[in-house]
């Protein structure tokens, strides 16, 4: 059987976990690439040793050479420094912008027709940077942020209400970070809006826990940052692309006037398929929700302008 080919850049916790999920779910052959000699090769070999146990068909290989990634259908960028305790996502800007510039150039040279999904933080700024560096149409390069934030929101809702997670549809949009905008009116349990289930203070607490979800994990781990949920989230997006499902999920996409936001990448519901972003269906937002999203977009825009990426 022939499988699609996915390159995962970065053999750290997020990248390696995503690679393992991609092969165990039978979605794609995976090339795991990293600058560290032996790291992607060793992790890939370890995963292949589990092949007879997990009974997966695709293969995974590790490399330090982008030539081995040629012909990829999707490139997932996870490379970069992880967030450490006390470090904001903005603190990562300088170092990770250099990483993304290097990665996108090499990955695009090897696989010019690949879709690109960015995971590197600060997510919204790094996705914009990758788009500018790649020369791809903005529909073919997008980021993982909203899926993860919405999953954290769903977990918080489940913990607070006792509702099975399968009955919950949670939505968090905007920036991936402190300026995130959980949308409780658009989040439901058994189809009923969260705002009709809980009082305002309880809803506020859930939104706050969602915004601080990544920091909560970092504080508990003490070294490193979240990787299981981020990896699962990006694989969810890759699956939508490889299966051409047309699924709609919150994705870090470039807005060009939607919600009154121009030339900013941030998470909003987007329909994904084999060609990338098919559409950005607009939510019915009230004045407060719209204001919060525009304020979130403004914080991203400030970072982009500080880096000289716009204009």
Instruction: Specify the CATH number for the domain of residue 265.
Output: 3.90.110.10
- CA 130 to mean position of chain CA atoms: 13
Burial bucket for residue 132 (CB in 10 Å: 0-12, 13-18, 19+)? middle
Q: Is 168 found in the same domain as 52?
A: no
Among residues 79, 111, 143, the one where a domain terminates is: 143
Q: Is 139 found in the same domain as 276?
A: no
pLDDT tier, 223 (very low <50, low <70, confident <90, very high otherwise): confident
Question: For residue 92, is pLDDT > 80?
Answer: no
Model pLDDT, residue 5: 98
pLDDT tier, 85 (very low <50, low <70, confident <90, very high otherwise): low
Q: Is 293 found in the same domain as 172?
A: yes
Model pLDDT, residue 227: 96
Question: For residue 273, is pLDDT > 60?
Answer: yes
Average pLDDT over residues 82-108: 81
Model pLDDT, residue 87: 63
Question: For residue 89, is pLDDT > 60?
Answer: no
Residue of 84, 11, 19, 12 whose CA lies nearest to 47? 19
Tokens at residue 217, please? Answer: 């994990």
Strand-pairing partners, residue 63, are 33
**How many C-beta neighbours within 10 Å does residue 290 have?**
15
**How many C-beta neighbours within 10 Å does residue 160 have?**
17
User: Beta strand pairing status for 5-9 and 29-33?
Assistant: parallel
Q: What is the pLDDT of residues 8-54, one digit of tens each?
A: 999 999 999 999 999 999 999 999 999 999 999 999 999 999 999 99
Q: Is 269 found in the same domain as 186?
A: yes
Residue 267 is given by DSSP the state E
Model pLDDT, residue 248: 98
Residue of 63, 4, 1, 53 whose CA lies nearest to 24? 53
Model pLDDT, residue 81: 81
Q: Is 177 found in the same domain as 99?
A: no
Q: Is 169 found in the same domain as 298?
A: yes
Q: Is the pLDDT higher at 92 or at 74? A: 74
Q: How far is CA 259 from CA 72, 146, 296, 305, in A?
A: 34, 16, 12, 20
Quote the CA–CA distance of 271 and 250 in Å, as a whole number.
9
| Phi, psi of 233, rounded to the nearest 5 degrees | -65, -45
Q: Is 94 found in the same domain as 170?
A: no
CB of 251 closer than 8 Å to CB of 268:
yes
Model pLDDT, residue 93: 82
Which residues form the domain of 294?
146-306
Catalytic residue positions, numbered: 176
Q: What is the pLDDT of residues 116-173, one digit of tens each?
A: 999 999 999 999 999 999 999 999 999 999 999 999 999 999 999 999 999 999 999 9
pLDDT tier, 83 (very low <50, low <70, confident <90, very high otherwise): low
Model pLDDT, residue 94: 80
Question: For residue 105, is pLDDT > 90?
Answer: yes
Burial bucket for residue 18 (CB in 10 Å: 0-12, 13-18, 19+)? buried
Model pLDDT, residue 169: 98
Q: Is 190 found in the same domain as 112?
A: no
Among residues 118, 143, 168, the one where a domain terminates is: 143
Q: Is residue 311 part of a domain?
A: no
Question: For residue 311, is pLDDT > 90?
Answer: no
Query: Mean pLDDT of all residues in the chain?
Result: 95
Name the pTM for this structure: 0.96
Tell me which long-range contacts 189-195 makes (C-beta under 8 A, separation of at least 24). 189/157, 189/161, 189/163, 190/163, 194/157
Model pLDDT, residue 264: 98
Q: What is the pLDDT of residues 281-302, one digit of tens each?
A: 999 999 999 999 999 999 999 9
Q: Is residue 123 part of a domain?
A: yes
**How many C-beta neighbours within 10 Å does residue 20 have?**
23
CB of 263 closer than 8 Å to CB of 310:
yes
Q: Is 179 found in the same domain as 100?
A: no
Q: Is 263 found in the same domain as 212?
A: yes
Quote the CA–CA distance of 70 and 50 in Å, as a whole number.
25
Structurally, how many domains does the chain consist of?
2
Model pLDDT, residue 84: 63
CATH number at residue 135: 3.40.50.720
Model pLDDT, residue 232: 98
Question: For residue 91, is pLDDT > 80?
Answer: no
Residue of 113, 185, 198, 126 whose CA lies nearest to 158? 198
Mapped onto helix, strand or coil, the DSSP state of residue 309 is coil
Question: Residue 206: which residues within 8 A CB-CB, separation 6 or more?
Answer: 153, 156, 157, 160, 182, 184, 194, 198
């Amino acid at each position: 059987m022939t499988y699609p080919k996915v390159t995962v850049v970065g053999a750290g916790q997020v990248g390696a976990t995503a690679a393992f999920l991609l092969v165990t779910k039978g979605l794609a052959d995976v090339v795991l690439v990293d600058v560290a000699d032996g790291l992607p090769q060793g992790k890939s070999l370890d995963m292949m040793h589990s092949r007879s146990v997990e009974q997966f068909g695709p293969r995974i290989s590790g490399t330090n050479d982008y030539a081995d990634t040629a012909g990829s259908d999707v490139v997932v960028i996870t490379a970069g420094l992880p967030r450490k305790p006390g470090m904001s996502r903005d603190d990562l800007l300088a170092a990770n912008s250099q990483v993304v510039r290097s990665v996108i150039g090499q990955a695009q040279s090897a696989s010019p027709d690949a879709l690109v999904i960015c995971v590197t933080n600060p997510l919204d700024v790094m996705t914009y940077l990758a788009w500018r560096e790649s020369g791809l149409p903005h529909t073919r390069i997008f980021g993982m942020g909203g899926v993860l934030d919405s999953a954290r929101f769903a977990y918080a809702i489940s913990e607070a209400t006792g509702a099975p997670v399968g009955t919950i549809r949670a939505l968090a949009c905007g920036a991936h970070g402190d300026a995130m905008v959980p949308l409780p009116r658009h989040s439901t349990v058994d189809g009923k809006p969260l705002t009709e289930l809980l009082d305002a203070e309880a809803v506020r607490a859930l939104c706050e826990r969602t915004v601080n979800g990544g920091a909560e994990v970092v504080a508990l781990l003490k070294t490193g940052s979240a990787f299981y949920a981020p990896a699962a989230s990006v694989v969810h997006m890759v699956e939508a692309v490889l299966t051409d499902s047309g699924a709609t999920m919150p994705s870090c996409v470039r807005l060009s006037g939607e919600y009154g936001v121009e030339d900013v990448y941030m998470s909003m519901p987007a329909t994904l398929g084999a060609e990338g972003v098919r559409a950005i269906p607009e939510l019915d937002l009230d004045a407060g929700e719209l204001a919060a999203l525009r304020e979130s977009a403004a914080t991203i825009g400030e970072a982009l302008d500080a880096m000289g990426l716009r204009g």
